[in-house]
Chains A and B, each alone.
Chain A
Amino acid sequence: MGETVVKLDNLVKRYGELIALDHFSLEIKEGEIFGLLGPNGSGKTTTINCLLSLLAYDKGSIEIFGKKMTPTSYDIKQQIGIIMQDVAVFDELTVYENIDYFCGLYIHDKAKRKQYVEEAIAFVGLEDFVRFRPKKLSGGLLRRLNIACGIAHKPRLIILDEPTVAVDPQSRNKILEGIAELNRNGATVIYTSHYMEEVEQLCTQIAIMDKGRKIAEGTKDELKRMIKNTETVTIEILELPDAVRSEIENLPHVYETAYIDDKFTVRCSGGRHNLIRILDVLRQNDLSFGRVYTELPTLNDVFLEITGKSLRDKED
Chain B
Amino acid sequence: MVEQAIIADKLTYSYNNLLAVDHISFHVAKGEILGFLGPNGAGKTTSVKMLTGQLKPKDGKAILLGLDVAENIERVQSEIGVCFEETNLYQRMSAVENLNLFARLFNVKSFNAYSLLARVGLSGREKDRVENYSKGMKQRLMVARSLVSKPQILFLDEPTAGLDPTSSEAIRNIILEERKRGATIFLTTHDMMEADKLSDRVAFMNQGKILALDKPLNLKQKYGKRALKAKVASNKGSLEIREINLDTPQTAEEIQKLFHNEKVVTIHSEEATLEDIFIKITGRGLTE
A and B found bound together: no
